[in-house]
Amino acid sequence: MRVPQMRRSLRQVTTHVMAIILGVAFTFASLKVSPSQAEPAPGYNNPPQIVAQRQSPAAIAVGNSSFVTAAVNRVGPAVVRIDTERTVTRRTTDPFMDDPFFRRFFGDSFPQQPSQRQVRGLGSGVIFDSSGLVLTNAHVVDKADRVTVRLKDGRTVDGKVQGVDEVTDLAVVKINARNLPVAPLGSSGKVQVGDWAIAVGNPLGFDNTVTLGIVSTLKRPSSQVGISDKRLDFIQTDAAINPGNSGGPLVNDRGEVIGINTAIRADAMGIGFAIPIDKAKDIASQLQRNGKVAHPYLGVQMITLTPDLAKQNNNDPNSAIIIPEINGVLVMRVLPNSPAASSGMRRGDVIVEIDGKVIKTAEQLQNTVENSQVGQNLQLKVQRGRQTQQLSIRTGELQNASLN
């Protein structure tokens, strides 16, 4: 009786062992087929290759050989810090005049005392000529009594403003020093959206700061940026640009200057603007020769007109004028004693052509006028109500940057 029982027990043990072996084999097979089921639990120390996959896109693109380092080494020595000082004078009333008792006797004719204070500014610049010429923003050195230029090698020299152009926000400063590094200037005409963009400067007083991004878009009109008193089409970038970066270079991946950083928007995150270097080179050349730049103008304030915008105006019973429902540039105001006023242009005219070239936007008209010469005759085709007018306007020299 005991022998059959032992055989039966041995058979049961063997069956259990085989079941365990089959279960283990099936588990390993399923793990090989579905590796996602074998991901580590939270808190597991990931292996190095997984950590590397979490690097920023910029770090992945740069790789082990950093083009940013090479570009900055090429242009960085020519980037300078510009410190300015300006004396502001204002007239203040003696504090005794705040007392009503004294005002009873002297009224508002009490003599005012001049009060002065020092205003300091900070910006960046880039040496573009071995003779000591520095390119920067006009607003960096505007009305400065003293300009001090600090080089990356530690030298500090006085700078003399050689010329300022408020319309393009560019200025040239001259320094006297030997063995100056010079930044290589590229061509903004070759820049494409998506190209690398490196901003170099002194943001917020932090000297020799470098930020990396890409070119977000090209030919962004200054009117869209909210700078109506400038005549510029900016390079837009997401490379971080902060106060103090103004006047510093925007550089491509080869270390060539493609723009001069000039503007940020307080209501935007990670958006900056730079003046294309081709424009900057042309302005700098004129500032070197003449100390200023002559900009032609017509003397009008204008907006882009579309059929929908005209229709909205015409459907308004309180509208003062009826506007042709076409594409063009609507004249909102004609300034007295301006070239436009002398030609007979009126408020409500719609400019549709200049010298036979179709004009559809205010930016297009502004660029056309800017590319002309002071004293040049421009032939304008204007829609006035239902009539078409031909006007000849001789451009004048712009004195106020807010005009066109």
**C-alpha to C-alpha distances, 36 to 33, 47, 325, 344, nearest whole angstrom:** 9, 16, 62, 77
Please tell me whether residue 399 adopts helix, strand or coil conformation.
Answer: coil
Query: What is the C-alpha separation between 395 and 393, in angstroms, rounded?
Result: 6
If phi > 0 it is left, if psi is from -120 to 50 it is alpha, else beta; for residue 369 that is alpha
Nearest Cα to Cα of residue 166 among 76, 228, 243: 228
H, E, C per residue of 234-249: EEEECCCCCCCCCCCE
Catalytically annotated residue among 246, 338, 343, 372: 246
Burial 62-78 (b: 16+ CB within 10 A, else e): beeeebbeebbebbbbb
Q: Tell me the DSSP string of 121-165.
A: EEEEEEEEETTTEEEE-HHHHTT-SEEEEE-TTS-EEEEEEEEEE
* Residue 348 phi, psi dihedral angles, 5° rounding: 100, -10
Among candidate residues 139, 233, 295, 343, the one labeled active-site is 139
Sign of CA dihedral 134, 138, 140, 144: positive
| 404/305 Cα distance (integer angstroms) | 16
Closest to 369 (Cα-Cα) out of 167, 106, 220, 73: 167
Active site residue 139: yes
Q: Is 238 a catalytic residue?
A: no
The H or E element that residue 182 is part of is none
169 is catalytic: yes
| List 83, 124, 165, 169, catalytic entry | 169
Non-local (6+) Cβ contacts of 36 within 8 A are none
Q: Is 247 exposed, middle or buried (0-12, 13-18, 19+ CB in 10 A)?
A: buried
Backbone angles phi, psi at 170, to 5 degrees: -125, 150
User: Which of 254, 306, 227, 251 minimizes the C-alpha distance to 124?
Assistant: 251
Catalytic (active-site) positions: 139, 169, 246
